[in-house]
Amino acid sequence: MARNVSASFSGAADAAVIYPALLVDISLADSTIYLWTGYGDFVYNSNTYQGVGHLGGVSEVTETANVEANGITLTLTGIPSSLIATALNDARQGKTVSCHLALFDSSETLVDVADDVFKGFLDVPTINKGSPNSSISITAENRLIELQKSRERRYTDQDQQDLFPGDVGLEFVAGLQDVEIKWGGG
């Protein structure tokens, strides 16, 4: 898939030395966590990304010429067992996850960040408990997965009220079922 990247990003990609990093935004039940593949904290776009270094992993992001919903797997290792409950309680299936590619120059200064390399929805986490540390793997489905979901919509007043409370646009639809309407002057 062709991507539109800025001139600074394109120039940095052609440089002799670049340092790529992945920025990951994960929406949880009541908050969003920000992680990146470097070390320490990194502030970008008013968000503080926590470095996971070699403790984190992201599977290959694949794209094909076909319209397919290819997902990714996010893995975080070295987690104290006490934090497993937090991960299980806050991760929600269907919440969003975004991955962005950042490029740093030879002096490790941020050059630019590309738009979403991957954007999708969280699935159920997999916990591998160990002593004293554990790992969490969670798959994220591509947003194209939405194309496979059926849309259950009805043109009823109740369905309209569920989406737009107070809207009376479909209030009389049920009464129109058996109405005979004569068109013309005959």
- Upstream peptide bond of 125 is cis (omega within 30 degrees of 0): no
In this structure, are 16 and 41 located in the same domain? yes
Q: Structurally, how many domains does the chain consist of?
A: 2
In this structure, are 101 and 123 located in the same domain? yes
In this structure, are 65 and 132 located in the same domain? yes
Does 134 fall in a domain?
Answer: yes
Residue 175 phi, psi (nearest 5): -75, -15
Task: Give the pLDDT confidence of 145-171 residue by residue, as tens digits.
Answer: 666 666 777 788 888 888 889 998 888
In this structure, are 161 and 110 located in the same domain? no
Task: Tell me the average pLDDT across 76-89.
Answer: 68
Q: In the predicted model, what is the mean pLDDT of the chain? A: 78
Does 110 fall in a domain?
Answer: yes
In this structure, are 114 and 174 located in the same domain? no
In this structure, are 37 and 84 located in the same domain? yes
Per-residue pLDDT, 162: 85
Strands, E assignment, the chain:
19-27, 32-36, 41-44, 47-51, 56-58, 72-80, 96-104, 110-128, 133-142
In this structure, are 92 and 170 located in the same domain? no
d(CA 12, CA 6): 10
Does 2 fall in a domain?
Answer: no
Task: Give the pLDDT confidence of 55-80 residue by residue, as tens digits.
Answer: 677 777 666 677 666 778 877 777 66
Look up the domain containing 44 and give its range.
7-149
pTM assigned to the model: 0.65
In this structure, are 34 and 126 located in the same domain? yes
Does 136 fall in a domain?
Answer: yes
Task: Give the pLDDT confidence of 11-47 residue by residue, as tens digits.
Answer: 767 777 788 888 888 888 888 888 888 888 889 889 9
In this structure, are 128 and 93 located in the same domain? yes
Task: Give the pLDDT confidence of 109-151 residue by residue, as tens digits.
Answer: 888 787 778 888 888 777 777 666 677 787 788 776 666 666 7
d(CA 29, CA 92): 6
Instruction: Report the percent of the chain where pLDDT is more than 70.
Output: 78
Give 113-140 as a DSSP string: EEEEEEEEEEEEEEEE--SSEEEEEEEE
